[in-house]
């Protein structure tokens, strides 16, 4: 059996799709199938069974996957061990847009001042992409804007970021000291797509008050939803909901105003996320300790 066969098998198991595994590995779906079939023949067991539209691991497949993931984790440590032998330390950090806008780049720069021997790569991406990078061993750690979905990723709450209600400066509600949730729901609302954490928090609060989100413009997260919302609100198309760190510049420049809605006090939690089954390098441990003591300015 080859390393490529094992990696392909593990990717299919994680993606639960031969087609998605092919895209992840940059090979064709038939090549993925061929590699998995070859591995099954060599082991003399069936690794997957078809239940519905997706492949599911057999009991033997689950046991093999545990061994393969352990083996891949060891293999992925080889470059790190070589770097340490050469006297270098590598730290690969991922950050969601929320972390990038609020504190992470400055924190990384400050850490680098005290640890010039550490080679740091900072990757800013969508949370789902960062989860994938962590699972595939391409990142040592990440700061995510919501809790990871995979059970293979360990999370630790790190800090909270306020979610605010934004309106154009000339909107009638900006003249009010406080705005009721009921009055807010009578306005045209601009929301990100479903499964967005801010959208989910707002809907939960509104439903709890017996209200509903009726009048709204919905923005697709795939196309820079947060920035589209800021622009749409600035142009007077409605009221929006965003993390405060993303609109500090707009508020300071008086392009936007923040409404005070006492019934809608929302905060997003950011998490420090690691892979459960991979050993945490010393450089990563050091950066996490630094983050927990780091004092950042809003």
- Give the tens place of pLDDT for each residue, 149-163: 888 999 999 988 899
pTM for this structure? 0.64
- Summarised one tens digit per residue, pLDDT across range 40-65 is 999 999 999 988 788 999 999 999 99
**Higher-pLDDT residue of 226, 66:** 66
Which of 67-76, 77-86, 152-161, 174-183 has the least mean pLDDT?
A: 77-86
Which residues have a Cβ under 8 Å from the Cβ of 32 and sit 6 or more positions away?
Answer: 8, 11, 12, 18, 19, 21, 22, 25
Q: How far apart are CA 218 and CA 238, in angstroms?
A: 11
Angle, CA 100 vertex, CA 81 and CA 95 arms, to 5°: 35
At 253, give phi and psi (nearest 5°): -85, 0
Q: How far apart are CA 225 and CA 179, in angstroms?
A: 25
Residue 97: its pLDDT value, please?
83
Q: Select from 65, 60, 48 the least CA-distant residue to 277.
A: 65
CA 20 to chain centre: 19
DSSP tag of 22: H
Phi-psi region for residue 224, left (φ > 0), alpha (ψ -120 to 50) or beta?
left
Pairing of strands 141-144, 266-275: antiparallel
For CA atoms 24, 25, 26, 29, the dihedral sign is negative
Residue 273: its pLDDT value, please?
96
Residue 127: its pLDDT value, please?
87
Find residue 103's DSSP bridge partners. none
Residue 212: its pLDDT value, please?
81
How many helical (H) and strand (E) elements, i.e. helices and strands, does the chain have? 12, 11
pLDDT band at 223 (very low <50, low <70, confident <90, very high): very low
Which of 117-131, 132-146, 161-175, 215-229 has the least mean pLDDT?
A: 215-229
């Amino acid at each position: 059996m080859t390393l490529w066969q094992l990696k392909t098998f593990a990717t299919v198991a994680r993606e639960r799709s031969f087609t998605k595994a092919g895209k992840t590995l940059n090979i064709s779906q038939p090549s993925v199938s061929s590699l998995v079939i070859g591995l099954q023949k060599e082991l003399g067991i069936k690794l997957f069974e078809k239940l519905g539209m997706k492949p599911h691991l057999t009991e033997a497949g689950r046991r093999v996957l545990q061994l393969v993931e352990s083996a891949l984790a060891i293999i992925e440590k080889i470059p790190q061990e070589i770097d340490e032998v050469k006297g270098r330390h590598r730290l690969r950090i991922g950050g969601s847009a929320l972390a990038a806008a609020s504190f992470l780049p400055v924190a990384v720069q400050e850490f680098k001042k005290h640890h010039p021997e550490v080679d740091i790569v900072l990757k800013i991406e969508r949370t789902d992409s960062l989860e994938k990078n962590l699972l595939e061993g391409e990142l040592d750690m990440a700061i995510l804007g919501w809790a990871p979905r995979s059970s293979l990723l360990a999370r630790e709450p790190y800090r909270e970021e306020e979610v605010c209600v934004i309106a154009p400066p000339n909107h009638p509600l900006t003249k009010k000291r406080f705005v009721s949730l009921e009055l807010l729901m009578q306005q045209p609302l601009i929301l990100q797509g479903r499964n967005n954490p801010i959208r989910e928090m707002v809907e939960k609060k509104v439903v709890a008050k017996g209200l509903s989100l009726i009048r709204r413009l919905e923005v697709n997260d795939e196309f820079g939803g947060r920035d589209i919302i800021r622009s749409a609100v600035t142009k007077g198309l409605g009221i929006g909901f965003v993390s405060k760190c993303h609109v500090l510049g707009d508020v300071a420049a008086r392009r936007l105003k923040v409404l005070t809605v006492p019934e809608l006090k929302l905060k997003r939690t950011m998490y420090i996320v690691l892979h459960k089954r991979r050993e945490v390098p010393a450089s990563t441990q050091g950066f996490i300790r630094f983050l927990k003591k780091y004092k950042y300015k809003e």
